[in-house]
């Protein structure tokens, strides 16, 4: 899932300070699971900002809202009146949610309340770690199911670098060396021969280096006729 972190409150307060009516919109998907922008976090943020305003004698109105998935227009549409009825929207979703609102209502100002971080998994309660960078060309079938692109600081493809020592990464001694983990995994899977396989230089054209990526599934797209029908229903 996408893991994000709330921006410091003073930064958020500074962003929204010039506006009178602020709609704060959270998301019940990834950012709710990583405890950054779900219903509770939105309410706590609004409450903290109200306490700040009370202390400083500032008059500002906040409305706390949450949608199921802020990156999908259909869900955002449900709070359209509230969004457009406010002077500014503070999105407590990942950057995708904030940009969805921005794209839907281009003349309406939308600010991010979170810093979007990683594609991560919960390791334990309250701890998330990055395990994918979305390079667009997955190779974990050859590395024992462990991604060396995200989990190795240097994204090495053919074994550990010279800095790996005692199974730890030289960039951060608290981090396990990804290739040490790959070796262990391949060993218990009796597939150690893969470690000797030379992987050629990675084709990064599927990654972000080529600019904005768009994924299309032709069979799921609506034909012009279907679009017209859908619009008629709405």
Partner 1 sequence: MAGRKPKVVGFCCERHGMDAAVLSARSGKEFDASVRLVQVPCTGRVDGMHILKALEDGADCVFVLGCLEKNCYYDTGSIEGRKRVEYVKQMLSEVGVEKERVEMFNSASTNAWMFPEIVSKMVALAKKLGPIGGEKQ
Chain contacts with partner 1 (rule: CB under 8 A):
8-10, 13, 40, 43-44, 47-52, 54-57
Q: Which tokens in the block code for residue 167?
A: 């199974």
Q: Which is nearer to partner 1, 75 or 128 (CB)?
A: 128
Q: How far is the CB of 58 from partner 1 (least distance, A)?
A: 9
Q: How far is the CB of 126 from partner 1 (least distance, A)?
A: 10
- CB hemisphere CA count around 100 (13 angstroms): 22
Q: How far is the CB of 56 from partner 1 (least distance, A)?
A: 7
Length in residues, the chain: 234
Phi, psi of 123 (to 5 degrees): -85, -40
Q: How far is the CB of 181 from partner 1 (least distance, A)?
A: 31
Q: How far is the CB of 61 from partner 1 (least distance, A)?
A: 13
Q: Which is nearer to partner 1, 39 or 176 (CB)?
A: 39
Q: Which is nearer to partner 1, 62 or 183 (CB)?
A: 62
Q: Which is nearer to partner 1, 35 or 132 (CB)?
A: 35
Q: Which is nearer to partner 1, 13 or 67 (CB)?
A: 13
Q: Which is nearer to partner 1, 58 or 167 (CB)?
A: 58
Q: How far is the CB of 7 from partner 1 (least distance, A)?
A: 10
Residue reference for tokens 């955002």: 76
Residue among 63, 68, 67, 59 at smallest CA distance from 46: 63
Q: For residue 4, how many other CB atoms are within 10 A of its CB? A: 28
Q: Which is nearer to partner 1, 8 or 163 (CB)?
A: 8
Q: Is the dihedral of CA 56, 94, 75, 228 positive or negative?
A: positive
């Amino acid at each position: 899932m996408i893991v994000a972190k709330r921006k410091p409150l003073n930064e958020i307060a500074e962003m929204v300070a010039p506006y009178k009516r602020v709609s704060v919109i959270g998301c019940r998907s990834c950012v709710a699971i990583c405890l950054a922008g779900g219903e509770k976090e939105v309410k706590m943020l609004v409450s903290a900002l109200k306490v700040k305003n009370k202390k400083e004698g500032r008059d500002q109105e906040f409305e706390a809202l949450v949608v199921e998935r802020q990156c999908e227009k259909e869900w955002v549409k449900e709070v359209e009146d509230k969004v457009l009825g406010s002077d500014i929207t503070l999105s407590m979703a990942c950057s995708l949610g904030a940009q969805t609102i921005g794209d839907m209502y281009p003349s309406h100002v939308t600010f991010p309340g979170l810093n979007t971080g990683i594609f991560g998994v919960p390791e334990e309660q309250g701890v998330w770690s990055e395990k994918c960078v979305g390079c667009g060309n997955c190779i974990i079938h050859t590395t024992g199911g462990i991604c060396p692109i995200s989990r190795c600081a240097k994204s090495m493809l053919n074994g550990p670098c010279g800095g790996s020592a005692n199974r730890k990464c030289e960039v951060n001694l608290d981090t396990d060396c990804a290739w040490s983990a790959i070796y262990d995994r391949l060993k218990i899977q009796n597939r150690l021969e893969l470690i000797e396989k030379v992987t050629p230089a990675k084709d990064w054209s599927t990654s972000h280096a080529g600019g904005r990526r768009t994924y299309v599934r032709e069979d799921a797209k609506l034909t012009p006729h279907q679009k017209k029908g859908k619009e008629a229903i709405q």
